Amino acid sequence: MNVVISGYYGFGNLGDEALLAGLIPVLQAAGHQVSVLSGDPALTAHSHGLLGSHRLWGLPGALKRCDAIISGGGGLLQDKTSRRSLDYYLAVITLARRLGKRVVVYGQSVGPLSPAGERKVAKALKGLPVAVRDDSSRQLLAALGIAAELVADAALLLTPPPVTLDLDGPVLLIPRGGYPAITDGLLALARSLHAAGRSLATMAFQERVDGPEVARLRAALPIEVWQADSPQAALLLMAKAGYVVSARLHGLILAALLGKGLSGIVYDPKVAAFLGELGAPAHTLPLAPDRLAAEVQAGEVPDIGKLNALKARAAFGAAWLQQALSS
């Protein structure tokens, strides 16, 4: 089967590329031909070794050639950051349905949505197989009359490199562009940890967005800047960390896969949902640097049972996806 994946791919976002890297082998192992709608098809082809079509002008041809389309994963179905973004992803779904293609909505978070956005999502998803990565999204869809299966983020399907736990490794701080208050809190935390003798590192999960916040941290105090151009490279770098404090969801997911101690900064419901299921510390704004510093120094790692439950749900999601494509 020729399968096209629609999501926020080809924009240099390590998180979205991580869930794509988890998803592709699942589809290829089942014998599917996989292509991706991408903001940068050449980058997608280089990074993942498969055909990329431009998400706008390559869309008609990609839909014409495919047998099925997967919308996801990621936080696509929300209109908090952009109404146009939601309209695009729903338009892809609607166009594929009109062309008679099989459509599966997989591994997504849903919301926040305006009332108008809720109506659009309910209309576009009616009658489709839908799987979401957190229970709050499932509850939101249920309120809109859409039944959804509960799976987990496809990045949890990745195999991390072997890791030796090193509590004395650098404390990795992962900011989120567009939220200067997060960086303010990370700066206060970094100064406290530096005064206590801890080494520090920082990393942008999307250079265009997070780069200015990384620059703020680097300008303020001694801190290593780690750079990764792929999820695999990010895992290798993060394996050196002694603890991870992240506002980026996939910074937390990759840290959990590596068995690292972690604290999360909640700027979006998807981050709160993951931290809640993992049983890991969650911080809302304004941040409390003293509490964060105490967590870092304690170095507590996530509950392995809860992590394994999430990984099992991701594996279930992969099996569910195969069934949805074939039924």
Q: pLDDT per residue over 220-243, tens digit each? A: 999 999 999 999 999 999 999 999
Contact indicator for 113, 143 with CB cutoff of 8 Å: no
Span 95-135, pLDDT tens digits: 999 999 999 999 999 999 999 999 999 999 999 999 999 99
The domain 171-300: what is its CATH number?
A: 3.40.50.2000
Overall pTM > 0.95:
yes
Annotated domain spans of the chain? 2-156+310-326, 171-300
Question: Predicted confidence band at 311 (pLDDT cuts at 50, 70, 90)?
Answer: very high
DSSP per-residue codes, 124-193:
HHTTS-EEESSHHHHHHHHHTT---EE---GGGGS-PPP----TTSPEEEE--TT-HHHHHHHHHHHHHH
Work out the end-to-end distance of the chain between its first and last CA atoms, rounded to an integer number of angstroms.
12
Question: Is 179 exposed, middle or buried, given 0-12, 13-18 or 19+ CB atoms closer than 10 A?
Answer: middle
Span 162-202, pLDDT tens digits: 877 777 899 999 999 999 999 999 999 999 999 999 999 99
Q: What is the DSSP letter of 37?
A: E
Long-range contacts of 277-282 (CB under 8 A, 24+ apart): 277/134, 277/306, 277/309, 277/310, 278/252, 278/302, 278/303, 278/306, 278/307, 278/310, 279/303, 279/306, 280/252, 280/256
pLDDT at 289: 96
| Average of per-residue pLDDT across 34-52 | 96
Single-letter code of the amino acid located at 244: V
2-156+310-326, what's its fold?
Rossmann fold (3.40.50)
Backbone angles phi, psi at 34, to 5 degrees: -115, 135
Q: Give the Cβ contact number of residue 109 at 10 Å.
A: 26
Rg of the chain on CA atoms, in Å: 19
Distance (Å) of CA 219 to CA 55, 199, 215: 37, 15, 6
Give the tokens for residue 8. Answer: 């926020």
Domains 2-156+310-326 and 171-300 share a fold: yes
pLDDT at 277: 97
By mean pLDDT, which of 141-150, 154-163, 273-282 is the weakest?
154-163
List, in sequence order, every residue forming a beta bridge with 51; answer none if it has no partner.
35
